[in-house]
Amino acid sequence: MSRALPHLRRSRKTPLRSQVTTILRNEILSGRMKPGSILYERELAKQLGVSKTPVRESLTVLDHEGLVKTLPRKGYLVNGFTVQDVHNFFDLRVILESVAVELAISRITDEQLETLTSLVPDDTPNDDMPKRLRRNVDLHYSLALLSGNDRLASLVKGLMSEMQRMIAAGYVPEEHEKLMAAMKERDPRRAVEAMRNHINAVREKALRLVPSPLANPGPSESAPLEKPDLSPDRPKAALAS
């Protein structure tokens, strides 16, 4: 890893492990730490000016979040994702969130719609991707809650939490505005279409950033078999990837 890390500003209010975790998470989600890169505790600790202990603890957190993978006796691999990974996750999002917005549109009040609009994360600084992603999850989770189906909302939140790396790679700000505009018209069909277009726009952009043939090949992993696409919502650009 040749790129210097941002300066660590120590704070008595925030545990050192949390500060290190925030820096490393931001570096990964912003794409500055590339998929396939190997991270070493000693090197990270030296750059951040801390001991190896908070670095090790931070990398363990990121391992649990799926952003890195522990390589025994070597280091930590920055995880990427495959074309099939992208399709698997985004196909699920299309299914779940289309249902969520269709149910929500018949129940949502003007006040709730204003609250949803205030959650749109597009005004978050580009260099604070973790904050933008947190607000993005809040927006989609809140919308799903308005469907009246708590289980559906939990599935949406869990799915989006798992695919943060993909969302960061394919983030398309202007699509949220189109979604909110469609919801304000109280037209279920248009709202569902806007949600599908929003999700597929992110999918297309994320696909363009997937290295070929694999974003994160393990030492003994092989590329997954491509399955025929049976989804009517999958964009043509994605099929060509």
- 191 and 92 part of one domain: yes
Model confidence at 228: pLDDT above 80: no
Domains in the chain, number = 2
Distance, CA of 40 to CA of 78 (rounded, Å) = 11
Indicate the pTM of the whole model.
0.72
Query: What pLDDT sits at residue 121?
Result: 84
pLDDT of residue 33: 87
| Domain that includes residue 95, residue range | 83-215
User: In b/e form, how buried is each residue of 127-160, taking b as 16+ CB within 10 angstroms?
Assistant: eebbebbebbbbbbbbbbbbbebeebbebbbebb
**Do residues 88 and 162 both lie within one domain?**
yes
Check whether residue 207 and residue 114 sit in a common domain.
yes
1: in domain: no
Residue 95 lies in a domain: yes
The answer on 126 and 28 residing in a single domain is no
Asked if residue 225 belongs to a domain, the reply is: no
Residue 49 has pLDDT above 50, yes or no: yes
